[in-house]
Amino acid sequence: MLIYSPPKPATSIPVIDLEQTFEGGSIARQKAADAIQTACRQTGFFYVANHRVPAKLIETQFAAAKQFFDLPLSEKMAIHMKKSPTTAGYEPIGGQTLDSQDDKSEKAPPDLKESFYCGLETEPNDPRFPKPVRGYGHNQWPNLPGFREQMITYYAAVSSLGAHLLTLLARSLEMPEDWFAKFHAPASATLRMIKYPPQAADAKFNQIGAGAHTDWGGITILAQDDVGGLEVQTVDGTWIEGRPIPGAFVINLGDLMARWTNGIYSSNVHRVKNNNSNRDRYSIPFFYGPYPTSTIEAIPSCVGEGQAPRFATCTAAEHMQEMFRRSYGYTPQTAA
């Protein structure tokens, strides 16, 4: 059983090598799981190296992101996310306010970024989704040759990594490696591409690329370019740099995973500010979470005898819709 203890301040984000976890034995997988447990208790952030997502595929994904954001604004607005029942599509600069998740009375300024969302590409009239469900289908694609195909290929590769990481997370929580699988059939995963322009000299007070926030779902698999700008808050309130490491993804836990683990694992606050005055920053987060109707309640190994769960039970959809409302100001009319 995992007993809750106050996390210790971290001074850096660890790098976990996954090479031996794919075909290695139980000892190698347990070693990685132990490293993940330490990272998740302290910051909820870690890097993964040798993750088996091809470097060329990641490079092409960044090229596709730049190609998309270089389109005229009119072409991007033609596929605005509000035109999709699953909120897939384009989000213009100022469209989201991440530093708003506690419904504070003084609303924070909007973020200085633009982005593109897509979910699992589905066939029309897919019987699994009789109603629109965020993260599944209703994608909107720009008129760019090969763009849709690249998104689908990258989505599949990183989804496979997400499923693999869940087996190690389950082991780190003293649960069977397939424990999370039943909640992710199919997973609710969203691919997002983000462009951060250089920090504007005339930005409003406390207005940056992405305001301080936690992620909402299960796990985030982030590819970032070499510009830098990601900052992670440790438990003692110190901000540390999530520096770019060539070939490595940044992994962090979202609020649903914190609920699932009864607060033993952290969903830590982070933010982005592009301080490079000459270059745009591009990042590609992949949000991998449970199917919307999945019930989120404390994992058995995370609740001590006689202890009450720290969080109320909810479905994944209920949580995600509330977080979307706080960040965008409305709730998408998608099926729960």
User: Which tokens in the block code for residue 114?
Assistant: 């633009």
Picking from 13, 24, 16, 27, the residue whose alpha carbon sits closest to that of residue 51 is: 16
The pLDDT, as a whole number, for residue 336 is 45
What is the percent of the chain where pLDDT is above 90? 69
Q: In the numeric block, which tokens belong to residue 298?
A: 């404390």
pLDDT tens across 81-104, in order?
999 999 999 999 999 888 755 555
- Looking at this protein, which amino acid is placed at residue 88? A
Confidence band (pLDDT; 50, 70, 90) for 132? confident
Q: pLDDT of 169-209, one tens digit each?
A: 999 999 999 999 999 999 999 999 999 999 988 889 889 99
- What is the per-residue pLDDT for 333? 58
Q: Is 322 helix (H, G, I), strand (E, B) or coil?
A: helix
Q: What mean pLDDT do residues 207-218 have?
A: 91
Cβ atoms of 41 and 128 within 8 Å: the answer is no
Q: Provide the token pair at 118.
A: 């897509």
Higher model confidence: residue 43 or residue 150? 150
Distance CA(285)–CA(77), nearest Å, equals 21
Tokens of 195: 């462009």
How confident is the model over 50-71, as pLDDT tens digits?
999 999 999 999 999 999 999 9
Provide the whole-model pTM.
0.92
Compare 88 and 237 and report the one with higher pLDDT.
88
DSSP label at 15?
A: E
Query: Is residue 6's pLDDT more than 60?
Result: no
What's residue 323's pLDDT? 76
| CATH T-level fold of 15-328 | Jelly Rolls (2.60.120)
**Strand 281-289, strand 188-196: pairing:** antiparallel
Q: What rounded mean pLDDT belongs to the chain?
A: 90
pLDDT of residue 306: 82
Distance of CA 217 to the CA centre of its chain: 7
Q: Where along the chain do its domains lie? A: 15-328
What's the rounded Cα separation, in Å, for the pair 218 and 185?
A: 14
